[in-house]
Amino acid sequence: MRPLSIFKRSQRNLRRNAVRTGLTASAILVGALTLTLTSALGAGVNKYIDDTLASFGAENVIFVTNPTASGDNSDSDPAIFEEDQIEAQVVGPPNPGGSATLVQAISQDTIAEIERIEGVDAVEPSLGVTIEYLMTDGPQYVADNAQTSLEIESVLLEGTQLSDDSEFQVILPYEYLDVLGFRDASDAVDESITIGFYDYADFIAEVDAKIVGVADQGLGGPVAGNLVMNPSLIQEIYESQSLDAPAEEGFSLVTVFVDESLVGTDDFIAVIDELEQLDLTAVTLEDQLGDFTAIVDAIIWILNGFALVVLFASGFGIVNTLYMSVQERTREIGLMKSIGATPRVIFSLFSLEAALIGLIGSISGVLLGIILGSRLSNVLQEGLLSDLTGFDPFVFEPQAIASVLVVVVGLALLAGILPARSASKKDPITALRYE
C-alpha cells in the first residue's frame, strides 16, 4: 500500500470516530497550549532583560567595591570598625539597588593595580556621597542615590542623559513623580528639585539641581529606583560631607572599563578573577539581573513540567483510543492482511493515526496559545505592566513554536507504538473470525 493511501485511510478512520478523536486531541491541546504560553512568557521576560542591558550600553563595565560588612548584621557577629571604612551608596552586591553599605575604601594604590590588569582600558573612581531626601514645594521624601558612570545610560521615559558640565543635574526615578507633584514624566523634565543631605558637621544641607530626565521603573540596573546625579553635583555634595581629599580618603566604588572585544570571552572572566584576587568584589550589570533571570527560568521550567505531565496523561488517552480502534477494526485488519497488507503497513496505519491526533491537538493548542497570549499581552501592557515600558510579556519565537509541535507529535507517536504493534501482530485468520 502506497504512503498516500495509508494517509487517506488514516484520515477516514479518524473521521469515522470524530467525537473520540476530538476528545483525545483536546487533552493534547491543553498541554500544547500551556507549553506555548510558558515558552513565550520566558522568551518575553528574557528579551526584556536583554533589551534593558543593551540600553545601558555597558556590557564591558565592571563595578568594583571592597565590602567588609553589610548594613544588616543580624545573622553574624559585629564587624570590627576600621578607620578607612566609609559608608556609601554602592551598585551591586552585597546590597544591590543603592542601600547604604559599609565598605573598605579603595585606595589609589589599589586603583593602580587594577589599571595594570591586562584587558582593562580605563578605571573611573566614584566619590562616596549619601543623600537623605528630595523635595520640591511640599514635604521631604526619603531618597537614596546610585553611584554610576556617565558611560552607563539610564532607561528614560522622558528627557536626556546626564552631561559632564558645571550645571547640577539629576535623573529622577519614576516612583517620585506623583509624590513630588508632577503630572507625568514630561512635566518633571527641566524642573528644579531640592536634595537634602548631612554635611561633615552633621547638619542638614541642601542643594538645588535640574531634572534632565525621568528613569523608567524597569527591572533593575544601575539606577534601581535611586536618584542619579552628574559628576559636578556629586563633587559639590562630597565637598560638603568630607574634609579629606578623595585621594586621601579613598573611593567607595570604582568603575572598570574592559576592552569591548573581550566581552563574552574567557579573557573577560579572567579580568574578574584578577579583581577578586585583589580581595575586591566585581559585579557586572548582567550579574545584577542574573538572579531575577534565574528565578524566571526556574518558574518557566516548573510550568513546562506541568504541561508535560498533561501531555503524558493525554498520551494514555491516545493509547486507549487506538486500542479501542484496534478492537473495533479487528476483522478489517484481518481482511487487509488476507489481501496482502504487511505488518509494516498495519503498523504504519495506526502510527500515522496517532501522529495525526497529536498534530491536530498541537496545532490547535499553538494557535490558541498565540491568540490568547497576544490578547493577554495587550491587556497587561495597558494595565498591570504599563510602568514597564517596552515589555511584551509573551514573545512567540518560531523555533519555540516548532519545538512544541515536534515534542507533542513525538509524544503522540510514542503513545501509538503499543496499539500499532498489537494491530500489526494480529493473525489474519483469527482476526477474520473475530465477532
State whether 42 and 70 are in the same domain.
Answer: no
Determine contact, residues 24/353, Cβ cutoff 8 Å. Answer: no
409 falls within a domain: yes
Into how many domains does the chain fold?
A: 2
Which pLDDT score is estimated for 78? Answer: 47
Question: Is residue 220 domain-shared with residue 155, that is, in the same domain?
Answer: yes
Q: Are residue 28 and residue 162 in the same domain, yes or no?
A: no
Asked if residue 72 and residue 34 are part of one domain, the reply reads no
Does 221 lie in the same domain as 72?
yes
Q: Decide if 217 is inside a domain.
A: yes
Domain carrying residue 407: 3-53+292-432
Tell me, yes or no, whether 36 and 73 share the same domain: no
Q: Is 279 among the domain residues?
A: no
Residues sharing a CB contact under 8 Å with residue 419, sequence separation 6 or more, in sequence order: 319, 322, 323, 325, 326, 350, 354
Q: What is the pLDDT along the chain (435 residues), one digit of tens a residue?
A: 577 777 777 777 777 778 877 888 888 888 889 889 988 888 888 887 777 666 655 678 888 887 654 444 444 444 444 444 444 443 333 333 344 445 577 888 898 999 999 999 988 887 778 889 999 988 899 887 765 666 667 778 889 988 888 899 999 988 889 889 999 899 999 999 999 999 888 899 999 999 999 987 665 554 456 788 888 998 899 888 877 655 556 777 888 889 988 888 999 999 999 999 988 888 887 776 666 677 777 877 887 787 778 777 777 877 877 777 777 777 777 878 787 778 888 888 888 888 888 889 899 999 999 999 999 888 888 877 776 667 788 889 999 899 889 988 888 888 888 888 887 887 777 766 665
Residue 402: the pLDDT is 92
Q: Is there a domain that residue 282 lies in?
A: no
* Sign of the C-alpha dihedral computed for residues 329, 330, 335 and 336 taken in this order: positive
Report the distance separating Cα 185 and Cα 353, nearest Å: 59
Single out the residue in 202, 232, 258 at which a domain terminates. 258
Q: Are residues 91 and 226 in the same domain?
A: yes
Q: Is residue 206 helix, strand or coil?
A: strand
With beta carbons less than 8 A apart as the criterion, state whether 364 and 408 touch. no
Q: Grid coordinates representing 403?
A: 519545538
Looking at the fold, whether 355 and 206 belong to one and the same domain comes out as no
**Alpha helices in 189-284, H assignment, sequence order:** 231-241, 246-249, 266-277
Task: Indicate whether 265 belongs to any domain.
Answer: no
Residue 412 lies in a domain: yes
Task: Please indicate, yes or no, if residue 201 is contained in any of the structural domains.
Answer: yes
The pLDDT score that the predictor gives to residue 72 is 46
Domain end among 258, 278, 312: 258
Q: Does 422 lie in the same domain as 344?
A: yes
Q: Do residues 145 and 190 both lie within one domain?
A: yes
Work out the angle at residue 166's Cα, subtended by the Cα atoms of residues 165 and 172, and round it to the nearest 5 degrees: 75
Query: Among residues 400, 267, 417, 416, which one has the least CA distance to residue 354?
Result: 416
* Domain final residue pick, 234, 258, 282: 258
Other beta carbons within 10 Å of 175: 15
The verdict on 42 and 65 lying in the same domain is no
Q: Is residue 264 part of a domain?
A: no
Distance CA 334, CA 345 (A): 13
pLDDT at 387 (0 to 100): 66
pTM, rounded to two decimals: 0.60
One domain for residues 332 and 205? no
* pLDDT score of 192: 94
Q: Supply the pLDDT for residue 4.
A: 73
